Amino acid sequence: MDCVILWVDGNDPAWIQEKNKYAAKDSEEGADQRSQRFRDWGTLKYLLRGIEKNAPFFRKIFFVTCGQKPDWLNESHPKLVLVNHKDFIPEKYLPTFNANTIELNLHRIRGLSDRFVYFNDDMFLLQKTTPYDFFKKGRPRDTAVMNAFAAELKKERNLLLVSVVDNAVINTHFQKKEVLKKYFRKFFTPVYGKDVLRNFCLLPWKHFTGFVNYHLPYNLRKKYFFEVWEKEPDLLDRTCSHRFRNADDVNIWLLLYWQICRGDFSPRNPCIGQSFTLRNQSNENINIYDFIRKRKRKIIVINDEITQIDFSEQQEALLKAFDSIFPEKSRFEKY
């Protein structure tokens, strides 16, 4: 299996100039142009150190950017493949500042294996992993736990939750009753722990009311990208035509839901990892840094919602926590 990593240097003056140029043109209501979407915490080297130390079984590491690369990156690493957006994303969608566009075209990367794990640059491996943590007997590992949510509007940006759109597509192509009947043991398994109770509670509903998004590295198969593009070309084209994330986009979750409804997955306990969000209050982030230092689970994901406090202060604390467990440079670094 391969690994795919997306990265952007949001501090690059040339990139900022181009982004601002298109932001002025693409200011329609619903476009998400927040700076946090592109902020670099300087943690990429720890993602790569974690992969080298805890997941040496990856065949290739596909590093996807708009042509950027950190100065310290060792381009001659035998596993590393640098991929530019223009190498695989159709020209009509470029330049793009929409992660959904990049994600929905990953299957077009030349040389990428059918089975791959997609990492955001905020996902880190803290403990040793095995191939079976990601794929088992060729099937992606996943947690098929249903969820119930309302079509909530986020007031500050009037963005419809992307899960609603993804789930609407799923209900167009799959009958819940048939899926659960065919793959009952994959939905109702003790592997999910107490979360399996959600599936029992939502069993009476006719349609899928949603799925829990655990926001861990995505275990994917290229074949379903081709299938979804074939079934919903206009919808995916519309998403990819948005320079920035938009209210009616679909995203990578649609591919995960599709795999689940196809039954092409192997059940996995969600406790393999945990997702956190960095907050504005410094004391709220202490548990994140403690989680890293103690390597409490195999995977940690750290979202960024900081808007008001001193960014540099929290960045220093985060880097110090990672450096305590990954003090040695990896072969992905020049020096």
Q: Does the reported pTM lie above 0.85?
A: yes
CA pair distance 145, 277, nearest whole angstrom: 22
pLDDT digits (tens, 9 = 90+) for 136-189: 999 999 999 999 875 554 544 434 567 788 999 999 999 999 999 999 999 999
In a domain, 333, yes or no: no
pLDDT digits (tens, 9 = 90+) for 14-59: 999 999 988 876 655 555 555 555 678 899 999 999 999 999 999 9
In a domain, 192, yes or no: yes
In a domain, 334, yes or no: no
CA pair distance 14, 76, nearest whole angstrom: 25
Instruction: Quote the pLDDT of residue 280.
Output: 73
Share of the chain above pLDDT 90, in %: 77
Average pLDDT taken over every residue of the chain:
91
Query: Could you identify the residue written with the tokens 């979202």?
Result: 303
In a domain, 28, yes or no: yes
Q: In whole angstroms, how large is the CA radius of gyration of the chain?
A: 20
Instruction: Quote the pLDDT of residue 308.
Output: 62
In a domain, 331, yes or no: no
Instruction: Quote the pLDDT of residue 27.
Output: 58
CA pair distance 119, 165, nearest whole angstrom: 23
In a domain, 332, yes or no: no
In a domain, 180, yes or no: yes
b/e map 110-121, b = 16+ CB within 10 Å: eebeebbbbbbb
Domain with residue 122: its CATH number is 3.90.550
Instruction: Quote the pLDDT of residue 156.
Output: 43
Q: Is residue 204 exposed (0-12), middle (13-18) or buried (19+ Cβ within 10 Å)? A: exposed
Number of domains in the chain: 1
Question: What does residue 101 show for φ and ψ, rounded to 5 degrees?
Answer: -60, -45
Mean pLDDT of 301-328: 86
CA pair distance 201, 146, nearest whole angstrom: 9
Instruction: Quote the pLDDT of residue 23.
Output: 83
Residue 278's pLDDT band, with cuts at 50, 70 and 90, is confident
In a domain, 103, yes or no: yes
Residue 75's pLDDT band, with cuts at 50, 70 and 90, is very high
Query: Could you identify the residue written with the tokens 């196809």?
Result: 262
Domain that holds residue 148: 2-325
Instruction: Quote the pLDDT of residue 158.
Output: 39
